[in-house]
Amino acid sequence: MFVSISTTGTAENPASDLGFLLHKHPDKVQRFATTHGTAHVFYPESGEQVCTAALLLEVDPAALLRQGRGKGRSGSPDHALAQYVNDRPYAASSLLAVALRTVYRSAMKGECVHRPELPGRAIPLRIGLPAVPVAGAEGPELVERLFAPLGWQVDARPVPLDEAFPEWGDSRYVRLELTGTLRLADALQHLYVLLPVLDGSKHYWVAPDEVDKLLAAGQGWLADHPEQALIARRYLSRRWSLTRLAMERLALARLAEADDREAEEIDNAVPDVPEAPEVGEAGEAGEAVEGVEGAEAGPAGPAETVGPAADAERGGSLAAQRRAAILAALARTGAARVLDLGCGQGELVGALLKEPRVTEVLGVDVSSRALTIAARRLRLDRLPERQARRVKLVQGALTYTDARLKGYDAAVLCEVVEHLDLPRLPALEYAVFGAARPAAVVVTTPNAEYNVRWETLPAGRMRHDDHRFEWSRAEFAAWARQVAGTYGYTVDLEPVGPLDPEVGAPTQLAHFRLAAEAADTPEATTTAPEGSAHR
């Protein structure tokens, strides 16, 4: 099986730079061992104006068979024969996708040590695949639907079954040519995900970590793709539970990214003197401003008291007061190993690391974009070894149980629960209180009653566009007691921020502690609630 990647260039930007991008020298023929055979990379042409890199994968059918995964279509009439005679060695399938990733790994990640400016550039590309299997009746039309939204011009021609006998009709293969001006890394990611999607079958067992692979390769394009449901379903070999997980994480990633974009726009627009919050910005958006280095004072609090001076009087912005309240609660339980669940851009992670008592912080968020920003802000890549060992950021969805979250002293959910649809909340409750089961959990969420004190927030509006609900004090208390009762915790509630005699404080905090008797028999009394999704 074969794939060619061509580009064109000029004297200043010669096409042969493709060699740098692919990390393969144009003057050499190179061979790579892959799990299922040998990949050859060579350049049929390499000049200033045109350069083409070809990857030829020589599949070893015997190796494929030995691994027991070289099965033909499961619906094929003669399954036993199909093990020996099938299209696997020739057609561009999941085998080619894996080979592409093996051979062009750095290029796919957008890395180029020698010419770091190259991967960020969109370049004219032409990708040729002589035989792409297309499952189902849609054929060439499906190829168009998958690649066109990503900026490719698609030329997909059905390959006749036998050119000598046109009356036999077309085969299930298309000759595919994609042209477009894209970054090479994106192009490779598209192929890596979409070739197995077109093929409709994988040569290996689809394990749950395929969801991570799909989301990693799909970052930046899959969440907005009109066919994302079809892509996820087929990529995950129609495993329904995995597909649902992928779709949920994609939806969350989309929201989180919209959030981040909004926060970034506000970051960029932040004036020297903070203005009163606008509709939908009174909550995290204001805090995002606050989180930026050098812009500590953000809009927080009622309009008449907004401003750095007022913040100082009240002991810092609302976000800072919230962090202080969380740190104080954690200090009371002496927590050393702490989870920051829905850590966002890492402000609390940073504050936790400043506490000498804290030996380990695991930040979890569904938004890889937020995590990237957090890693940058915390300068994770430059921390000395001993510090670096104290902190880890991982991507995860809190509505699913996750073994990585077990064994911690405390978990924090700072302004997170209100981002979940109410029907999904029991799943988070189970994942955190039932499965991860830290000795203490600190939850903060807006107090909806306080919203009337935000002059710029119209009546009935929530503080942030992505909030699915905001609770009154009574509602939060009822929820906290119910969760504590279900999972064997005790709970204390406290207000955070300036206390208004009528409507309370802007933030409410619940401090859960594992009840002593329950602590002896972790997970003894807890089972998943009806309808909660967990793995």
Residues that bind ligand SAH (CB under 6 A): 252, 256, 284, 287, 342-344, 347, 365-367, 370, 397-399, 414-416, 419-420
Burial of 137 from C-beta contacts in 10 A (0-12 / 13-18 / 19+): exposed
Q: Which is nearer to ligand SAH, 91 or 223 (CB)?
A: 223
Residue 420 CB, nearest distance to ligand SAH (Å)? 6
Residue 432 has what DSSP assignment? I
Q: Which is nearer to ligand SAH, 210 or 248 (CB)?
A: 248
Residue in this structure with the two tokens 């089972």, named with its chain if needed = 527
Residue 163 CB, nearest distance to ligand SAH (Å)? 53
CA–CA separation, 276 and 233 (whole Å): 45
Q: Which is nearer to ligand SAH, 172 or 322 (CB)?
A: 322
Q: Which is nearer to ligand SAH, 327 or 370 (CB)?
A: 370
**For residues 191 and 107, is the Cβ–Cβ distance under 8 A?**
no
Residue 370 CB, nearest distance to ligand SAH (Å)? 5
> Distances in Å between the alpha carbon of 234 and those of 56, 119, 199, 368?
25, 29, 9, 23
Residue 27 CB, nearest distance to ligand SAH (Å)? 47
Rg of the chain taking only CA atoms, in angstroms: 27
Q: Which is nearer to ligand SAH, 99 or 252 (CB)?
A: 252
Q: What's the start-to-end Cα distance of the chain, in Å?
A: 37
Q: Which is nearer to ligand SAH, 344 or 446 (CB)?
A: 344
For residue 347, what is the enclosing H or E element? helix 347-353
Q: Which is nearer to ligand SAH, 358 or 420 (CB)?
A: 420
Residue 347 CB, nearest distance to ligand SAH (Å)? 5
Q: Which residues contact 228 (CB under 8 A, 6 or more apart)?
A: 222, 247, 250
Q: Which is nearer to ligand SAH, 197 or 398 (CB)?
A: 398
Closest CA to 96 of 183, 43, 34, 140: 34
Residue 137 CB, nearest distance to ligand SAH (Å)? 37
Residue 189 CB, nearest distance to ligand SAH (Å)? 22
CA–CA separation, 343 and 255 (whole Å): 15
Q: Which is nearer to ligand SAH, 196 or 396 (CB)?
A: 396
Distance of CA 88 to the CA centre of its chain: 31
> Distances in Å between the alpha carbon of 484 and those of 334, 433, 526?
20, 8, 11
CA–CA separation, 424 and 533 (whole Å): 8
Residue 400 CB, nearest distance to ligand SAH (Å)? 8
Residue 273 CB, nearest distance to ligand SAH (Å)? 23
HSE-CB at 355 with a 13 A cutoff on CA atoms is 24
